Amino acid sequence: MKWTEKITRFAIKKRKSTAKNRRIVGKYLSFLAVALFGLFLANFAYIIAKGNIFGTDLVKEAKKVHQTTRTVPAKRGTIYDRNGVPIAEDATSYNVYAVIDKKYKSATGKILYVEDSQFNKVAEVFHKYLDMDEAYVKEQLAQPNLTQVSFGAKGNGITYA
């Protein structure tokens, strides 16, 4: 008997029926699905217990995404009490910003931006009238690669009063 015939006879003898093969594959796939589900469940339990993953604090990240604080500006207008007497009246307010882009000029070539030599003067005026720190104003004006800068809360909501 040739060796090829021996191998063929061995393979045929160990061959399983298609129904048995399907049952075995089904068992393996079921076990794999249960194992993967268990792995995901263990991972979620670990994340819930620790509160962080890969060095990222998930509580802080969730607060950043879901909890924000912002001031909603009120619609301006007169507010009346129940007797028709105004208790709050509208007022005009302004925001201060400075253009620092050296390309910002009028059609006639007039400079419309704050020059470097004017930074001290602008800081003095803002300190005098808006009570801003001169160093902060100079720092804002000296920022590179920006076209304009604003001056935070003290530069917003300015009125004549």
Asked whether residue 146 falls in the same domain as residue 92, the answer is yes
Q: Specify whether 30 is located in the same domain as 88.
A: no
Residue 66 has pLDDT above 70, yes or no: yes
User: Is the same domain home to 46 and 7?
Assistant: yes
86 SS3 class: strand
In tens, the pLDDT along 8-64 reads: 887 777 777 888 888 989 999 999 999 999 999 999 998 888 888 888 888 888 888
Pair (92, 60) in one structural domain: no
Q: Quote the pLDDT of residue 75.
A: 66
- The parent domain of residue 125 ranges over 79-155
Note whether 55 and 110 are same-domain residues.
no
Number of structural domains found in the chain = 2
Instruction: Looking at the structure, tell me whether residues 58 and 118 fall in a common domain.
Output: no
Identify whether residues 53 and 97 lie together within a single domain. no
Q: Which of 23-32, 102-111, 139-148 has the highest mean pLDDT?
A: 23-32
DSSP E strand boundaries for 28-120: 52-53, 56-57, 79-80, 86-88, 97-99
Same domain for 50 and 100:
no
Task: Provide the total of helices (H) and of strands (E) in the chain, helices listed first.
Answer: 5, 6
Measure the CA–CA gap between 15 and 131, rounded to whole angstroms: 91
Does the reported pTM lie above 0.85?
no
13 or 110: which leads in pLDDT: 110
Structure tokens at 30: 């079921």
pLDDT (tens digit per residue) in 71-102:
777 666 788 888 888 888 777 788 999 999 88
